[in-house]
Amino acid sequence: MTATSIRGAMQTRPAQCERHGEYESVLLNLGGQRWTGCPHCSAETIEQHQAERDASQAEDLRRLRGQAMFEASGVPRRLQGATLKSYVSDSDEQDAAHRQVCEYAKGLAGHLETGDGLVLMGNMGTGKTHLAVGLIRYATRSLAVPARYVTAPALFSRVRASYGGNGESEAEILDELVAAPLLVIDEIGVGKGSDNELNLTYSLLGQRYDACRPTVIITNLMSEDLRAWLGERVVDRLRETSPVVLFNWESYRGRS
């Protein structure tokens, strides 16, 4: 007895799927003969492949968007390779600074609500900018949070150029930086700091404070010098929102 029946030109037979039960298998004549499998299983496989393709396209898109966001942050190309992971610490102090910035990165979602920032303070060449860039990379590429990087001298010269009527205004420049969800200002305290520069800094930090947007400040000045440079009112406000991460190991090395 044969289970095979002929229906028109199509040969079929009943078959059993372990998962979906009975189905009708069809004999295919495509180069060789083959009985079709369970149609429900086939549909599932197709759906699964489609889902995998969709997920990988979404992942590609997400990665491209993160990369574009990182490149738009203003981090100079030369520094773009810096990551939180690639920071090398070979002393307890370096390790502590590294850990503090990584902890901050981990809690970034919360800091974006409260506006709490950081002050990276210490000698040149201690990796403050490296960690700040790592933070920006993490924010943009991993969390899709837009972030901006500026140096204070570049900001001041951009604002000075705007006085010459180059098409942008001081207010527009400030608005752009106030709007950034996360802002890193590097090289605070480089140069003497004219009244205009200090007012600009005060205004930028004040507006970001009012908007609860976190700012990371990088400076080579130690506390008292920073207080003298930025003024009491700015430093008091910073103290309220932004713990200091110390990078002062080179000064120890210098003494020994």
Residues 207, 115: Cα–Cα separation, whole Å? 11
Contacts with Zn ion by CB under 5 A: the residue count is 6
Instruction: Give the x/- contact pattern for Zn ion in 149-168, rule: CB under 5 A.
Output: --------------------
Q: How far is the CB of 15 from Zn ion (least distance, A)?
A: 10
Q: How far is the CB of 16 from Zn ion (least distance, A)?
A: 9
The three-class DSSP label of residue 162 is helix
Residues 183, 95: Cα–Cα separation, whole Å? 24
Query: What are the start-end ranges of the H helices in 72-107?
Result: 92-106
| φ/ψ (deg, to 5) at 250 | -65, -30
Nearest to Zn ion of 43, 228 (CB atom): 43
DSSP state of 237: H
Which of 13, 34, 40, 85 binds Zn ion (CB under 5 A)? It is 40
Q: Determine if 47 is a binding residue for Zn ion (CB under 5 A).
A: no
Nearest to Zn ion of 28, 161 (CB atom): 28
Which of 25, 38, 120, 128 binds Zn ion (CB under 5 A)? It is 38
The three-class DSSP label of residue 139 is helix
Q: Determine if 17 is a binding residue for Zn ion (CB under 5 A).
A: yes
DSSP state of 104: H
Q: Name the strand (E) or helix (H) holding 249.
A: helix 249-255
Nearest to Zn ion of 34, 40 (CB atom): 40
Nearest to Zn ion of 18, 92 (CB atom): 18
Nearest to Zn ion of 38, 101 (CB atom): 38
Residues 85, 77: Cα–Cα separation, whole Å? 18
Binding residues for Zn ion, rule: CB under 5 A, are 17, 19-20, 38, 40-41
